[in-house]
A and B are shown apart, each in its own frame.
Chain A
Amino acid sequence: MSLKQNLHNLKEKYKGTKMAPAFNAIHTFLYLPNEVTHGGTHIKAADDLKRTMNIVIMALVPCLLFGMFNAGYQHYAAIDSSLRTDVLANFFTMDNFWIGIIKVLPLVIVSYGVGLLVEFIFAVIKGHEVEEGYLVTGMLVPLIVPVDTPLWMLAVAVVFGVVIGKEVFGGTGMNILNPALTIRAFLFFAYPTWMSGDKVWVYDAVNRTGTADAISGETILGSYAQNQEVVYSTFDKFMGFIPGSIGETSTFLILIGAAILIFTKIGSWRIILSAFVGAAVMGLIFNQVVAADIITDSSKFYGLMNTPWWEHLTIGGLAFGAVFMATDPVTGSQTNKGKWIYGFLIGFLSIMIRVFNPAYPEGVFLAILLMNVFAPTIDHYVVQANVKRRLKRTKVKTA
């Protein structure tokens, strides 16, 4: 008997009992269910929730693999800076990847293990089916945390994010805030020493603090915020050979992910494009402010304001947030016009927070969470404007 048949039998056996949703969940998670809807006419679409989620995960895999190499590369490059001279030769090595495996894989496993456990418990309590919503969240979470994040912190944050961010609202599809960003926000406010500074971005830097082997790796945003020059070239910044959260450094691979999402019509190109446009506009405004000599280099905002607008797009988590977080269909705007406004404001506010509050160099997660809250309001006004416009049209005709 195949596993599928086994699971089906177990499902029938435990029907109506408390454990039924658990078996149901494993069954629908691995296979298509045997049952189909009876009666009536139905449109059968191939892109069900499970397939949608899987495509997003596939779009994330390049970022994950790159992040694993980068975890090792940043570690060794911090010890021996000569490695930075020839990046391509020193990047894709087994040594680098090995550090990725021992540091990044546990984060992925904890994220999925804890998250799915919470989802299972809630499914059993509610007697619902387990929802697939956590599949993407579980992959996003390890990609947006620093490499040295302690596993128990991640576990606590995941429990908080899934319960408070999602389950209290009724589960997948009902949440107001993006659960992955709720988890990131929780980590940031609960354990700020592990989420910012110049130690957490490089593997082992925290342990070595105060010893003769001490290493550090400030993020580019952190350096700019302190008016310091950085050693990384534009090529490094675009390709992602820079310190940062695990999966968000490579703008290039994020754009490939964006192409996958747009091609499969899962991510909205309007949101992605308008977020980049919004960020560029804000960056240009700041550049003009500096060019007009309103801000001089004695100002604490000078470093980030003077950053060329196009560079703002490649550093920090902006690209990752715009492509993978802002396009979340549940928490984003639904109307086309609304998507333009929603995306634009995300980019605009990200850069504004980044520049004006050096304590929050990663403005993008705050900007997206804020716009998540405003998305229904934006949609409401877009729909109302349309209603008004059409009402006016009928009036003109009758007159």
Chain B
Amino acid sequence: MGLLSKKDAVLLTDPLADNNPITIQVLGICSALAITAELKASIVMAISVMFVLGLGNVVISLMRNIIPSKIRIIVQLIVVATLVIIVDLVLKAFAYELSKTLSVFVGLIITNCIIMGRFEAFALANKPWRSFLDGIGNAVGYGVILIIVGFFRELLGSGTLLGFKVLGDPIEKTGLYAIGYENNGFMLLSPMALIVVGIIIWIQRSKNKALIEEN
């Protein structure tokens, strides 16, 4: 990382593993459960959140000295709402089908705890460049989990990846389906997303010595 100082690099890498917003802080779970039935939706959601969080952090950080602390939540909401509307309109204009799949969850990025959390905890007290890195880092940490969950849910639930029939055709009975394999309908239901996230947390905690709790 020649571009970044060691202190700045930590902002990017820490949310990926040791301080992941989903698996460690358990924030942003609603969207992780709701839209991960398809890999494509997961990826778009990850990118949208990255846009909102990265840019939002910069904006808040630039304004941090002029925002009166009594109304800071309102100011944060306005910033986040503006960015979310941009994302929503762009999706509607260029990826209408996908924006229908994501439905209300694009709008609900506003309520994603990760975003308000980073504004409050980081952007209000740090310079724009560091805030930007922190926003991107957290969004990537969030997106990685979304994409892992989306990958398994689409692969096992529908037998496809990004819409491609990687396991064969369930109606024509080709590929794996020829030997009696069937899609797991449970994977498409939200409870299973919770279990998949739980399994990721389980694996991460058992591999990462720093996270093992004393009891």
Contact = CB atoms under 8 A, between A and B. Distances in A.
B96 interface: no
Interface residues of B, number: 11
Interface string B179-213: 01110111101000001001000100000000000
A383 interface: no
Interface in B150-197: 180-182, 184-187, 189, 195
Contact of A189 (B181, B189, B198, B202): B189
Contacts of A192: 185
Interface of B: 180-182, 184-187, 189, 195, 198, 202
B121 to A, nearest CB: 31
Contact of A168 (B180, B189, B202): B202
B202 A186 contact: no
Contacts of A156: 184
B182 A191 contact: yes
Contact of A190 (B181, B185, B202): B185
A394 B185 CA distance: 57
Interface in A170-217: 186, 189-194
B13 to A, nearest CB: 29
Contacts of A186: 186
Contacts of B189: 189
Contact of A191 (B184, B195, B198, B202): B184
22 contacts: A150-B180, A152-B180, A152-B181, A153-B182, A156-B184, A164-B195, A168-B198, A168-B202, A186-B186, A189-B185, A189-B186, A189-B189, A190-B184, A190-B185, A190-B186, A190-B187, A191-B182, A191-B184, A191-B185, A192-B185, A193-B182, A194-B182
Interface residues of A, number: 13
Q: Which of A152, A153, A186, A189 has the most CB of B within 10 A?
A: A189
Contacts of B198: 168
A156 B180 CA distance: 14
Chief secondary structure at chain B's binding surface: helix
Chief secondary structure at chain A's binding surface: helix
Nearest to B202: A168
Q: Which of A168, A189, A190 has the most CB of B within 10 A?
A: A190
A94 to B, nearest CB: 29
A200 to B, nearest CB: 13
B134 to A, nearest CB: 33
A168 B205 CA distance: 13
A219 to B, nearest CB: 20
Q: Which of B185, B186, B187 has the most CB of A within 10 A?
A: B186
A79 to B, nearest CB: 24
Contacts of A189: 185-186, 189
Contacts of A193: 182
Contacts of A153: 182
A191 B195 CA distance: 17
B213 to A, nearest CB: 14
A194 B183 CA distance: 12
Contacts of A168: 198, 202
A153 B181 CA distance: 9
A190 B158 CA distance: 11
Given A189-B185, A190-B184, A192-B185, 19 more contacts: A150-B180, A152-B180, A152-B181, A153-B182, A156-B184, A164-B195, A168-B198, A168-B202, A186-B186, A189-B186, A189-B189, A190-B185, A190-B186, A190-B187, A191-B182, A191-B184, A191-B185, A193-B182, A194-B182
Nearest to B180: A150
A153 B184 CA distance: 10
A189 B185 CA distance: 6
Contacts of A164: 195
Contacts of B186: 186, 189-190
Contacts of B181: 152
B175 to A, nearest CB: 16
B101 to A, nearest CB: 22
Nearest to A193: B182
A194 B184 CA distance: 11
A164 B197 CA distance: 12
A119 B86 CA distance: 52
Contacts of B187: 190
A156 B181 CA distance: 11
Nearest to B186: A190
A361 B202 CA distance: 35
Nearest to B184: A190
Nearest to B195: A164
Contacts of B185: 189-192
Contacts of A194: 182
